[in-house]
């Protein structure tokens, strides 16, 4: 979301700067030019509103490929349609009015663009570097976090992210085992299906189970960390109770090296057909990466299926539940 807000702010900032330049030079001295410029503002405003609304709906299921990038159809198509409709409306509205009225439109457009530029860039900066709201979309973290919980995510605790690089500076503290983190889905290929659907472009929330260099294994639902069964996990929940998968699912015709390679490249679940819930690994967590699992172990699409999470994909640490009031408090 913060990336879209940043682009909206830049577009409105450019419009404000260019409007002032055109007014000084007399470049908007005909009805046609004023209509075009008012149409451009209406197009920017409409497309920005459509983009924000479509992103909020989180319907990232189909994608359009433009060069090496992919855009969710739920974002792209409404944004384009809104931009076209907004431009047509603004053009004829600005062109048809009297000269005084057109001047009023242009002055109002510039003021709105400047206001949006300031507000949106401030919001994008806060969301990118400081704090961001997040809503729990699934039951994978039950009973720690429930569907519909609204919480704040601390974006700077692991360091400030350098835009467009994924690198971090000024680390206040490192990632610790047991932290609950929000992160971007680690597989960057929008064609890939994980846990039965496309997960690309989504934000996930899970608990850090493995740090770089840790050896992770699951046997009959029991987590094995560096060769030792982990007994102290008071937060975990097994929705299926004592019912575990049969040990026969371990009969994979894969060498340890191949298993590690497939897992690290986010390809393991495609080969194993999502059977690794109760019998998984062993794998070694790569450098600058983390092994993430949901507290609801039987209902969590996590690193057992789609691999490690790189530090560059980390958004921040889950911090405080602010809604509903009955669940308000610090996240542990």
For the stretch 239-293, pLDDT in tens is 998 889 888 776 677 899 999 999 999 999 888 888 889 999 899 999 999 999 9
pLDDT on residue 125: 81
End-to-end CA distance of the chain: 25
Q: CA-CA distance, 101 to 309, in Å (whole number)?
A: 55
For residues 236 and 246, the model is more confident at: 236
Judge if 125 and 148 occupy the same domain: no
Place of tokens 């973290």: 141
Q: Is it the case that residue 156 has pLDDT exceeding 50?
A: yes
Query: Dihedral through CA 85, CA 89, CA 92, CA 96, nearest 10?
Result: 180
Q: HSE (CB half, 13 Å, CA atoms) of 33?
A: 9
Judge if 208 and 289 occupy the same domain: yes
pLDDT on residue 77: 76
pLDDT on residue 70: 53
Band the pLDDT of 160: cuts 50, 70, 90: confident
Judge if 77 and 142 occupy the same domain: no
Judge if 158 and 201 occupy the same domain: yes
Q: Is it the case that residue 78 has pLDDT exceeding 60?
A: yes
Q: Is it the case that residue 315 has pLDDT exceeding 80?
A: yes
For residues 54 and 185, the model is more confident at: 185
Last residue of a domain, one of 113, 129, 145: 129
**For residue 307, what is the domain's CATH number?**
2.10.109.10
Is residue 194 within 8 A of residue 57, CB to CB? The reply is no
Q: What is the pTM of this model?
A: 0.77
Judge if 43 and 156 occupy the same domain: no
Judge if 135 and 116 occupy the same domain: no
- 312-329 mean pLDDT: 93
Q: Is it the case that residue 74 has pLDDT exceeding 80?
A: no
Place of tokens 């889905």: 185
- 215-236 mean pLDDT: 94
Place of tokens 């603004």: 90
Q: CA-CA distance, 211 to 179, in Å (whole number)?
A: 11
Q: Which of 107-111, 163-167, 314-318 has the lowest mean pLDDT?
A: 163-167
pLDDT on residue 64: 46
Q: Which CA distances in Å does 70 have to 60, 61, 110, 314? A: 11, 12, 32, 20
Judge if 275 and 312 occupy the same domain: yes
Q: Is it the case that residue 171 has pLDDT exceeding 50?
A: yes
pLDDT tens string 184-221: 999 888 788 888 888 887 889 999 999 999 999 999 99
pLDDT on residue 100: 63
Query: In DSSP terms, which residues pair with 154 in a beta bridge?
Result: 131, 317
Q: HSE (CB half, 13 Å, CA atoms) of 149?
A: 25
pLDDT on residue 60: 46
Query: In DSSP terms, which residues pair with 323 in a beta bridge?
Result: 150
Band the pLDDT of 34: cuts 50, 70, 90: confident
Judge if 176 and 154 occupy the same domain: yes
Q: CA-CA distance, 190 to 177, in Å (whole number)?
A: 29
Judge if 229 and 277 occupy the same domain: yes
Place of tokens 């467009």: 164
Place of tokens 């457009």: 109
Q: Is it the case that residue 3 has pLDDT exceeding 90?
A: no
Number of domains in the chain: 2
Task: Determine phi and psi for 162, rounding to 5 degrees.
Answer: -85, 120
DSSP assigned state of 311: G
Report the Cα 319 to chain-centroid distance in Å: 17
Last residue of a domain, one of 89, 112, 129: 129
Q: CA-CA distance, 214 to 290, in Å (whole number)?
A: 9
Q: Is it the case that residue 2 has pLDDT exceeding 60?
A: yes
Judge if 101 and 124 occupy the same domain: yes
Last residue of a domain, one of 129, 156, 190: 129
Structural domain containing residue 37: 2-129
The percentage of residues in the chain with a pLDDT greater than 70, rounded to a whole number, is 88
pLDDT on residue 246: 86
Q: Is it the case that residue 59 has pLDDT exceeding 50?
A: no
Judge if 88 and 176 occupy the same domain: no
Judge if 121 and 137 occupy the same domain: no
Q: Which residue stretches of the chain are H helix?
A: 2-25, 31-57, 73-96, 99-129, 256-264, 268-272, 303-306
Q: Is it the case that residue 294 has pLDDT exceeding 80?
A: yes
Is residue 96 within 8 A of residue 57, CB to CB? The reply is no
Q: Which of 63-67, 81-85, 112-116, 284-288 has the lowest mean pLDDT?
A: 63-67
284: enclosing H helix or E strand: strand 279-284
């Amino acid at each position: 979301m913060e990336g879209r807000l940043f682009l909206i702010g830049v577009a409105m900032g450019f419009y404000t700067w260019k409007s002032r330049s055109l007014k000084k030079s007399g470049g908007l001295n005909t009805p046609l030019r004023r209509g075009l410029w008012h149409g451009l503002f209406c197009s920017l405003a409409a497309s920005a509103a459509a983009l924000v609304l479509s992103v909020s709906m989180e319907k990232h299921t189909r994608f359009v490929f433009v060069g090496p990038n992919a855009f969710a159809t739920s974002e792209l198509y409404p944004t384009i349609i809104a931009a076209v409709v907004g431009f047509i409306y603004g053009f004829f509205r600005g062109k048809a009015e009297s000269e005084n009225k057109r001047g009023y439109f242009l002055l109002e457009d510039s003021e709105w663009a400047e206001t949006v530029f300031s507000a949106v860039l401030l919001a994008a900066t806060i969301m990118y570097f400081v704090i961001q709201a997040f809503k729990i979309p699934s039951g994978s973290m039950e009973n720690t976090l429930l569907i519909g919980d609204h919480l704040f995510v601390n974006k700077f605790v692991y360091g400030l992210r350098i835009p467009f690089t994924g690198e971090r500076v000024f680390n206040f503290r490192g990632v610790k085992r047991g932290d609950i983190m929000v992160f971007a889905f680690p597989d960057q290929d929008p064609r890939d299906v994980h846990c039965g659907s496309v997960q690309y472009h989504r934000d996930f929330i899970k608990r850090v189970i493995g740090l770089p260099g840790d050896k992770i294994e699951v046997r009959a639902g029991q987590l094995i960390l560096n060769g030792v069964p982990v007994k102290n996990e008071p937060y975990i929940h097994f929705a299926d109770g004592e019912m575990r998968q049969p040990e026969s699912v371990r009969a994979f015709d894969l060498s340890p090296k191949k298993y590690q390679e497939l897992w690290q490249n986010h390809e393991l679940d495609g080969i194993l057909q999502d059977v690794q819930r109760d019998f998984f690994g062993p794998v070694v967590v790569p450098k600058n990466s983390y092994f993430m699992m949901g507290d609801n172990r039987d209902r969590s699409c996590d690193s057992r299926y789609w691999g490690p999470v790189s530090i560059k994909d980390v958004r921040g640490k889950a911090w405080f539940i602010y809604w509903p009031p009955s669940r308000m408090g610090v996240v542990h």
